[in-house]
Amino acid sequence: MSGSVRTVGGMDDVRQFFDRYAAALLARDERAVARMYAVPGLILFPGQAIAVGSEAQTEQFFASSWAQYEGVDAVEHDVAVLARAPGSVWADVTWRYDGEVRERFCYQLVAGDDGWRIAVLTPLA
């Protein structure tokens, strides 16, 4: 697992968040992943918006989706911080599995008592 951050100014906190997120994904730890999402939250896909109303909803989603990552045991991610405001960050994250770009998302992170949480997630081309 490795990640890089392309931004102006210090963004170690954002890099560290996505390092922890990648580690939880690789561990297939849906409980840890769910704790990294804000409630309420919003997942926006083309033609579909999913309102996230509970941590359990996120946990159940990830528990049911691990099969699509069968055989993935390494992940790299590049983070480009698009904007930062008090209590919020927008980050463009490209995910590579086994050296191949597989996913790219824009994450809006919001500050919580225990650090950043994903409030809005939408795929990018």
Domains of the chain and CATH, by start: 2-123 (3.10.450.50)
pLDDT reported for residue 5: 42
In this structure, how many other beta carbons lie within 10 angstroms of the beta carbon of residue 74? 12
pLDDT reported for residue 9: 41
Q: What angle do CA 33, 37, 31 make, to 5 degrees?
A: 30
Assigned token pair, 100: 């191949």
* Dihedral sign, Cα of residue 35, residue 38, residue 41, residue 45: negative
What CA–CA distance (Å, rounded) separates 112 from 114?
5
| Phi, psi (deg, nearest 5) at residue 9 | 90, 170
Residues 64-72 have a mean pLDDT of 90
pLDDT reported for residue 78: 95
**Proportion of the chain above pLDDT 70, given as a percent:** 92
Question: In terms of C-beta distances under 8 Å and separation of at least 24 residues, what long-range contacts does 111-114 make, across chains too?
Answer: 111/87, 112/38
Tokens 């210090």 -> residue:
10
Contact, 62 vs 45, CB < 8 A?
Answer: no
What CA–CA distance (Å, rounded) separates 67 from 99?
19
The pLDDT mean for the chain works out to 90
pLDDT class for 3, splitting at 50, 70, 90?
Answer: low
Tokens 């490795």 -> residue:
2
